Amino acid sequence: MFFLRNCFVSLCIVLLYSSLPCLATEYNVGPDKEYTTIGSVPWESLNPGDHVYIHWRSTSYNEKWVIGRSGTASAPIVVSGVAGQDGQLPVIDGRNATTRQSLDFWNEKRGLIKIGGSNIPSEPIPSYIIVENLDLRSARPPYTFTNASGGQETYANNAASFYVEIGQHITIRNCLIHDSGNGIFVGANNWNTQDILIQGNAIYDNGIEGSYYEHNTYTEALRITYQYNFMGALRSGAGGNNLKDRSAGLVVRYNWIENGNRQLDLVDAGHPDTLTDESVYRKTYVYGNILKEADNEGNSQIIHYGGDSNDTSRYRKGTLYLYNNTVITTRSGNTTLLRLSTDDEFADVYNNILYPTADGSRFALAESSGQIKISHNWLKDNWRVSHSSFGGTLTDLQTSVVGVSPGFIDFTKGDYHLLSTSPCRNAGKALDTDVQALHPVSKQYRYHRGAVTRGNDGILDIGAFEYSDSTPGDDSDQGNSGYGGAGIMLLLLDSE
């Protein structure tokens, strides 16, 4: 009886402890911390809820690694930079970087921080991972690094500061991402890469001189959202696009995107035959953004939608929902808003400010093909359907506002909020019911890399900003440090 009673007590203790959640571990990296290098963190054995804090120091961390473990929805694995006293982010620099030798992963030359694709750790699809508040830079040739085997390698042209080979529920937020071949690269991996959030980052100065194949971001996933990012010019001499995407379920909202060969290059998937949800491949939402084009900057087209593989059976052949954006072009020559790849691509274009500083005749809506419906936009006098021979279909509902100026608070300072006298006030249309249910215009971009709730007086204004008589003055270019460093705004995950 004594033996049975003790067995029962022991069993109860085992059951009690097995029902308790595992305690998460914090790893602190930095001067005078438990871990003095990033490579000393046991990346191959991270567990749900574990949090790696990389503290700022006056010199960069010249290290690279793979994250190949999974968190959970309630306990993600988090890698956070801890800023210096003046807001400086910890710098992760690819130049002469070293790799933790306990790791074993392939495609080392493709990324600085890599998600998925490793033997050690061996998790097939890492998931629920957040990386935030880091300055990620310099993964490109001619720079070299020491790989996990101790050998020297040179980065590939298409190396990225942040490379997702395979992963699900991955968030990268509040980072500076620059001086790499691609700033961010996300691969679909037979559509096993899913649910990616790119939020509140400054992504700029990426690309390879003389090449059109590397971009600020190059992404392909099943469901991906870009929001609150500042995306600036590429490296001098680089011919890539700012945001290039091949995803199914793409949402681009409340970003500031300027320059690049095109601001948005939204083309066909690499493996469309394996799409798990065809409907999301056919619907792309772009709203609440500021899209800027400088004179002599790359291609004269702002947005390309459809495909570029020359296999038109793979093209998106769906609808680009383009609404409540503010598009600014200071080109002295021609600018074209949209290139739709074939007549099977459709664009629903409404509530946008489409403002060229040149004469209105220099601004056209379309290239040569596609179906376009326009409604309730602001357009400059003398605008054109196309600068070439347009063989597609334009449906103009004759509801747009046409004039000389959309009524910005201060164009020269980059403040594109509306004056009280702006003709764009209360001149927009309500979103269609299905669009309103999925993607309402509930926020607006805040300079730089943030968002605020968009006002609502019952009628949408045209453009990315709703008129307010109490607009914060720091939303303009004037007096801001831009994307160069201090003052990180911490943003929570957005469920919108």
**How many angstroms separate the Cα of 304 from the Cα of each of 52, 294, 316?**
39, 17, 11
pLDDT value at 496 more than 80: no
Mean confidence (pLDDT) of the chain: 91
pLDDT value at 495 more than 80: no
Amino acid at 323: Y
Which domain does 310 fall in, by range?
272-484
Q: State whether residue 11 is helix, strand or coil.
A: helix
Give me the count of residues in the chain. Answer: 496
Q: Is 378 within a domain?
A: yes
Q: Is 342 within a domain?
A: yes
Q: How far apart are CA 98 and CA 94, in angstroms?
A: 9
pLDDT at 22: 58
**How many angstroms separate the Cα of 170 from the Cα of each of 77, 199, 247?**
10, 11, 15
Whole-prediction pTM value? 0.92
pLDDT at 492: 37
Q: Is 283 within a domain?
A: yes
Ramachandran quadrant class, 89 (left: phi over 0; alpha: psi -120 to 50; beta: rest): beta
> What's CA 165's distance to the chain center, in Å?
16
Beta strands in 16-122 (DSSP E): 26-29, 51-55, 63-67, 77-82, 91-93, 98-99, 104-105, 111-115, 118-120
Supply 265's token pair: 């290059």
Sort 495 into a burial class: Cβ within 10 Å, 0-12 / 13-18 / 19+: exposed
Q: What are phi and psi of 17, to 5 degrees?
A: -75, -30
Q: What are phi and psi of 227, to 5 degrees?
A: -150, 145
pLDDT value at 294 more than 50: yes
Q: How far apart are CA 124 and CA 167, in angstroms?
A: 9
pLDDT digits (tens, 9 = 90+) for 37-71: 999 999 999 999 999 999 999 999 999 999 999 99
pLDDT at 481: 34
Amino acid at 185: F
Regarding beta strands 118-120 and 104-105, do their DSSP bridges make them parallel or antiparallel, or are they unpaired? Answer: antiparallel
pLDDT at 471: 58
pLDDT digits (tens, 9 = 90+) for 78-118: 999 999 999 999 999 999 999 999 999 999 999 999 999 99
Task: Report which DSSP code applies to 96.
Answer: T
Place 401 in a pLDDT band, splitting at 50, 70 and 90.
very high
Q: Is 243 within a domain?
A: no
**How many angstroms separate the Cα of 380 from the Cα of each of 340, 374, 400, 421?**
22, 14, 10, 17
∠ Cα 415 421 427 (to 5°): 90
Q: Is 53 within a domain?
A: no
CA atoms lying within 13 Å on the CB side of residue 489: 18
pLDDT digits (tens, 9 = 90+) for 339-392: 999 999 999 999 999 999 999 999 999 999 999 999 999 999 999 999 999 999
Segment 267-287 mean pLDDT? 88
CA atoms lying within 13 Å on the CB side of residue 482: 12
Beta strands in 121-221 (DSSP E): 127-132, 135-137, 144-146, 152-154, 160-164, 168-173, 176-178, 182-186, 194-199, 202-204, 217-219
Q: Is the peptide bond before 76 cis (omega within 30 degrees of 0)?
A: no
Q: How far apart are CA 207 and CA 144, in angstroms?
A: 17
pLDDT at 459: 97
pLDDT at 184: 99
Q: Is 130 within a domain?
A: no
Percent of the chain with pLDDT over 70: 90
Q: Is 219 within a domain?
A: no
Q: How far apart are CA 114 and CA 94, in angstroms?
A: 12
Taking alpha carbons only, the member of 81, 63, 62 closest to residue 488 is 81
Q: How far apart are CA 459 and CA 1, in angstroms?
A: 78
Q: Is 229 within a domain?
A: no
Place 478 in a pLDDT band, splitting at 50, 70 and 90.
very low
pLDDT value at 483 more than 90: no
Q: For the chain, what is the domain count?
A: 1
Residue with tokens 């705004």, as numbered in its chain: 489
C-beta of residue 106 within 8 angstroms of C-beta of residue 58: no
Q: What are phi and psi of 123, to 5 degrees?
A: -65, 125
Q: How far apart are CA 389 and CA 395, in angstroms?
A: 17
CA atoms lying within 13 Å on the CB side of residue 158: 11
Q: Which residues contact 82 (CB under 8 A, 6 or more apart)?
A: 30, 53, 54, 55, 56, 90, 133
pLDDT value at 232 more than 80: yes
Taking alpha carbons only, the member of 180, 146, 189 closest to residue 162 is 180
pLDDT at 280: 94
Q: Kindly report each contact of residues 149-153 with a partner whose C-beta sits within 8 Å and lies 24 or more positions away, as own/partner.
A: 149/101, 150/101, 153/108, 153/109
Place 477 in a pLDDT band, splitting at 50, 70 and 90.
very low
pLDDT value at 158 more than 60: yes
